[in-house]
Structure 1
């Protein structure tokens, strides 16, 4: 349904505001601390509200998904951001829809169509126009980190679709955020050391990242993974650089060039083309792919791709 896509799209739109919040509200040079505070307190809050802990296989599944979506993804993302100009990192990361389509073919029985492949390539081209600068230079460690970040997030998206949690959405979201945050905790202390003294502005920025940038946005994202085909969800992630560029233009006075405007149009067109499966429901995708649904807690989930 269109409403499910629009609700899911709110998550990458929120993530697109992260750059503005980070530069304007947070202490400098503390990306891992921002990732830790964004994930662990949000996860603990959701677990406390739902009062639900994992059971059975979901102890290790939550750890795997939390590592992929948060604990491994965020350090790789920030390593790429430090080693590469932001435009290069975003452009490399835009290959994620292609990776998801490939993984979905192997794990979910979803056939990769020419339409999806072309839309994914167009998405990379559009993001490059939107954020890439002519003087950008490559650092191969940074490129590897950006590709690694796209790969682990893609794996988390596909496995999140394959493993359907029997718990309420907020509870399973909290499990992943706690797992990812606990993995980030020693890395943050080792790399960045103890947190600095925080101002009221810093606290406000971290509060936004914890409540809106993590608890709300990840709940919406994981909801979308459960309701929509994985490729459709991952294409919605291309909204992040569009929102980041728009926020920079509106709130930071950054220039908006014709090339960036064209890039935004290309990205939006790729996103629309990738969503053209229209009103097909999750059951429609399951029937087409031949997947079966087991009882909650089982190893297989609905194979719901087209």
Structure 2
């Protein structure tokens, strides 16, 4: 990324306090906290790709909620509160503990509830990082923000991994190397380059709308590669998330619908 910044960007490093603060937010929340919580959650037994994606699809709802406090001129109406509640209810759809005859609290830690909670923490970290980055609005190229955020995030994640005693060597086998290459180049370098560019143009809520595609893609890929199934509870959770977002963004959706109808009428 730093090589790409050196070739394409007019500034390769932050200079002001606001710009360094933006890098800190990106490295801590968008890179380190998001990926650490996400990978830890998906590693838990019982958390399928589709179920995790439903929790991730809460991102627009949570981002809108954070935006009411972080971004200026945003207030949460009663319907907006209802929309946020829909999101919280939906997250419980994919985190319900499996039935067990044991009567202690360890059933929660042995179920997919903890995994879904960790994925929810990842989603909240990303949503908060998005709104804070939009609020800071640094005069810095998106590629530069990404490069420094990824450097800081990688250092934080590796330090945490060492502190937890995790293995630091990647197995020299085709599958781990292919996964590492895909996550490094496609999902991280290219993905976050697009994300920071769109965040600068569209804002945190609109750019996080891509999260609504995640359950569909995850369900198909999970079924194709991992043999996972998409149950009715997970599908219902996604529908509740979508309903919550419609409540939160009802005015914007109404404007776009009116514009679409008016454009169609003029075309006729």
Q: Common fold, TM-score beyond 0.5?
A: yes
Q: Say whether 1:176 aligns with 2:149.
A: yes
Say if 2:214 is the partner of 1:249.
no
The structural deviation recorded for 1:205 is: 1.8
* 2:54–2:238 contact (8 Å) kept in structure 1: no
2:237 and 2:116 map into 1 onto residues whose CA distance is 21
- Which is higher, the Rg of structure 1 or of structure 2? 2
Deviation larger for 116-125 or 209-218? 116-125
1:202 corresponds to = 176
The residue that corresponds to 2:266 in the other structure is none
Q: Which of these residues, 145, 157, 166, is aligned with residue 192 of structure 1?
A: 166
Q: Which moved more, 1:182-191 or 1:153-162?
A: 182-191
**Worse-superposed segment, 233-242 or 101-110:** 233-242
Residue 200 of structure 1, CA deviation = 2.9
Counterpart residue number, 1:20:
none
Say whether the 8 Å CA contact 1:126–1:264 is kept in structure 2: yes
**Quick one: structure 1 residues 71 and 280, their matched pair in 2 at CA, closer, same or farther if it must change by over 3 Å?**
farther
Find the partner of 1:161 among 104, 123, 134.
134
Q: 5+ unaligned residues in a row in structure 2: which ranges? A: 100-106, 257-268
Alignment counterpart, residue 112 of structure 1, candidates 76, 79, 84: 76
Deviation at 1:70, TM superposition (A): 1.2
Cα 1:148–1:252 change in 2 (3 A) is closer
CA positional deviation for 1:234: 3.8
Matches of 1:262 and 1:231, distance apart in 2: 23
Instruction: Show the counterpart of 1:53.
Output: 13
2:39 aligned with 1:78 = yes
Structure 1: gaps spanning 5 or more residues: 1-42, 282-306
Normalised by the length of structure 1, the TM-score is: 0.62
Give the TM-score, by structure 2 length. 0.69
